[in-house]
Amino acid sequence: MDYVIFILSLASLIWGADLLIAQSERIALRFNISEYVIGATLIALGTSLPEMAASVAASLGGKPEIAVSNVIGSNILNITLVLAGVFLLAKRITPHRDFFAKDSSWALFPVLIFVVMALQGVFDRVDGILLLLIMGAYLLFLRNSGAEILALEEEVIEEVEQIPFSW
């Protein structure tokens, strides 16, 4: 019975992910929002909600260590396994240097802050507020760099269209 529940849950998760991506793409096209911004906000939030629910449940259940280790494990998996899959399937990705340099620092900064917090030996509400402020700053960064991101995406599309046999 556990296997059946697992398979049904996995199928539901895959179906939901497909639906989330399709609807997010429609939103991006309708409101002329960069697909990158949609991916970094709506899709990231949607895929993180189950993880957030599990972490909140663990914390409320008196197991905050599970919540923290869930976040650490998820980060490691996203950077290694998920990106490995993307790179293997996409064959070749050529990111714009300036844009990814800025965005990569946003990915690294919360990790460094988390490490500093962990070295203190205690997590408290101030740490939570600080992390929420960092997330807010990242959302402002995305909003303010939206036009730049759209221009870069159009530039990449034009370059790809110049390549023979590109789909």
Across the chain, which has 167 residues, the per-10-residue mean pLDDT values are 89 84 80 76 78 89 91 89 85 70 82 93 93 91 72 57 52
Q: How many angstroms separate the CA atoms of 13 and 78, rounded? A: 17
Show the DSSP H helices in the chain as ranges: 2-31, 35-38, 44-60, 64-77, 83-90, 97-120, 125-144, 146-162
Residue 26 belongs to a domain: no
Q: How far apart are CA 54 and CA 107, in angstroms?
A: 22
Place of tokens 């802050």: 113
The pLDDT value given to residue 151: 63
Residue 96 CB partners (closer than 8 Å, separation 6+)? 152, 155, 156
Tally of domains within the chain: 1
Q: Is 6 contained in some domain?
A: no
pLDDT at site 156: 55
In a domain, 74, yes or no: yes
Flag whether 80 is in a domain: yes
**Residue 12: inside a domain, yes or no?**
no
On whether residue 126 sits in a domain, the answer given is: yes
The answer to the question of residue 61 being in a domain is: yes
* Structural domain of 124: 34-162
